[in-house]
């Protein structure tokens, strides 16, 4: 690997960043630097998987744990983004960039691996909903109504909840169906907190993206939509703003045009097989990756915002939403009710959405 400056890898312990680290190690003369973020909540912490890869390749490994106290840098992050940005993973991205910038000038990531090779869990759910759409509409509506009318302890059980959500989403049009998977808040939630007409730009953008996506299968179309929307408008903005705040340049090998074009030619049946995303990518690199990393479930760069806002950061959230409610664009009563429901656990809303 040729570079005039020190280069390292953002290593999450997932398939994509692990592949990048393995290939980089293969061409590097010296141990590469790897940089990982952990959390104080075990369900969100991926450090054990990152360590597996770091140990396998003898990298110069660095870790940083994000805790509720880490929210102190939020004003700095807001200054960097210069606009409302609703992805909570901007927080750990800011910190991993800060840690890496102490050693290196350029960092490689695994971004775009999910879009190129169908890695997101939502692709599986989209498939399930598409199958449910084949059920006659009157039967779908009756099923959703029946599930909603069940006693609360029954309807809140995981399988009953998923069945109801699946049927409800299947009753919408295919574009609205997909928007439910990638949008941080529903139209109903936005109407509650927004003082005035709710902007519908996101749904219009999705409709335009689907109109330009003519792949042979539904999976081909939704991955292409993500390459046009979610990747450039969320992930790349997040990483670019967070890294440049620390004068760190970030690049993703999965965004090389030859990789993107090659992945687009791979039939979707080799990307998603029997509920497993990135099937062909895992098979291609199974000899290079630790078994624990290869067989782990997809996790995503989730942040324990739900738990923090119901616990250590409850007052932090309340104070900031009260301040937000004083602005003309927001309904203060709607914000308070939404947060109260979230804190009680009655509803998990976009206020506490920790994953995308």
Summarize pLDDT for 22-68 with one digit per residue, the tens.
999 999 999 999 999 999 888 899 999 999 999 999 999 999 999 99
Cα-based angle 325, 327, 330 (whole degrees, multiple of 5): 55
Residue-level pLDDT at 2 = 59
Domain ranges of the chain: 7-118+225-294, 304-356
Cα-based angle 161, 276, 208 (whole degrees, multiple of 5): 75
In the chain, pLDDT over 70 holds for what percent of residues?
Answer: 94
Contact 68, 312 (CB under 8 A): yes
pTM of the model as a whole: 0.88
Q: What secondary structure does DSSP assign to 174-226, as a single string?
A: HHHHHHHHH-SS-HHHHHHHBSSPPP-HHHHHHHHHHHT---SSHHHHHHHHH
Local confidence band at 202 (pLDDT 50, 70, 90 cut-offs): confident
Contact 125, 222 (CB under 8 A): no
Is residue 85 pLDDT above 60, yes or no?
Answer: yes
> What tokens were used for 41?
């909540």
Average pLDDT over residues 75-94: 91
Average pLDDT over residues 260-279: 95
Neighbours of 85 (CB within 10 A): 15
Q: What are phi and psi of 330, to 5 degrees?
A: -120, 155
**324 or 347: which leads in pLDDT:** 324
Neighbours of 255 (CB within 10 A): 18
Local confidence band at 3 (pLDDT 50, 70, 90 cut-offs): low
Residue-level pLDDT at 346 = 61
Residue-level pLDDT at 354 = 38
Residue-level pLDDT at 355 = 37
| Secondary-structure percent of the chain, ordered helix, strand, coil, rounded to 5 | 60, 10, 35
Q: In this structure, what is the dihedral angle of CA atoms 39, 45, 49, 54, given to the nearest 10 degrees?
A: 0
Q: What are phi and psi of 83, to 5 degrees?
A: -165, 160
Residue-level pLDDT at 152 = 78
Is residue 297 pLDDT above 50, yes or no?
Answer: yes
The answer to which of 16-20, 73-77, 91-95, 256-260 has the lowest mean pLDDT is 73-77
For 166-201, write each residue's pLDDT tens digit. Answer: 898 888 888 888 888 887 676 777 788 888 777 667
Burial of 356 from C-beta contacts in 10 A (0-12 / 13-18 / 19+): buried
Is residue 255 pLDDT above 60, yes or no?
Answer: yes
Q: What is the DSSP letter of 295?
A: T
User: CATH number for the 7-118+225-294 domain, one of 3.40.50.620, 1.10.600.10, 3.30.110.30, 3.20.20.210?
Assistant: 3.40.50.620
């Amino acid at each position: 690997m040729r570079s005039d400056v020190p280069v390292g890898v953002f290593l999450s312990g997932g398939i994509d960043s692990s592949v990048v680290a393995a290939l980089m190690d293969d061409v590097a003369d010296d141990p590469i630097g790897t940089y990982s973020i952990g959390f104080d909540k075990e369900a969100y912490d991926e450090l054990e998987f990152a360590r597996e890869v770091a140990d396998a390749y003898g990298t110069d490994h660095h870790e940083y744990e994000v805790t509720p106290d880490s929210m102190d840098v939020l004003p700095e992050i807001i200054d960097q983004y210069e606009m409302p940005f609703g992805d909570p993973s901007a927080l750990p991205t800011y910190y991993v960039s800060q840690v890496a910038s102490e050693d290196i000038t350029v960092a490689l990531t695994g971004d775009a691996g999910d879009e190129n090779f169908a890695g997101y869990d939502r692709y599986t759910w989209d498939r399930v909903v598409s199958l449910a759409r084949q059920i006659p509409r009157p039967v779908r509506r009756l099923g959703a109504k029946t599930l909603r009318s069940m006693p609360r302890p029954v309807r809140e059980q995981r399988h009953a909840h998923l069945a109801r959500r699946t049927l409800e989403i299947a009753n919408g049009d295919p574009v609205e169906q997909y928007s439910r998977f990638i949008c941080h808040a529903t139209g109903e939630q936005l109407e509650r907190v927004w003082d005035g007409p709710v902007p519908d730009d996101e749904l219009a953008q999705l409709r335009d993206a689907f109109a330009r996506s003519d792949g042979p299968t539904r999976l081909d179309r939704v991955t292409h939509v993500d390459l046009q929307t979610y990747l450039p408008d969320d992930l790349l903005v997040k990483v670019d703003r967070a890294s440049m705040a620390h004068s760190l340049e970030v690049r993703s090998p999965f965004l090389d045009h030859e990789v993107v074009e090659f992945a687009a030619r791979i039939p979707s049946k080799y990307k998603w097989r029997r509920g497993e995303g990135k099937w062909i990518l895992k098979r291609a690199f199974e000899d290079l990756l630790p078994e624990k990393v290869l067989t782990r479930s997809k996790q995503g760069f989730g942040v324990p915002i739900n738990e923090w806002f119901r616990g250590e950061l409850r007052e932090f959230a309340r104070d900031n939403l009260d301040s937000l409610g004083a602005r003309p664009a927001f309904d203060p009563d709607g914000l308070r009710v939404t947060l109260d429901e979230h804190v009680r656990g009655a509803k998990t809303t976009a206020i506490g959405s920790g994953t995308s």
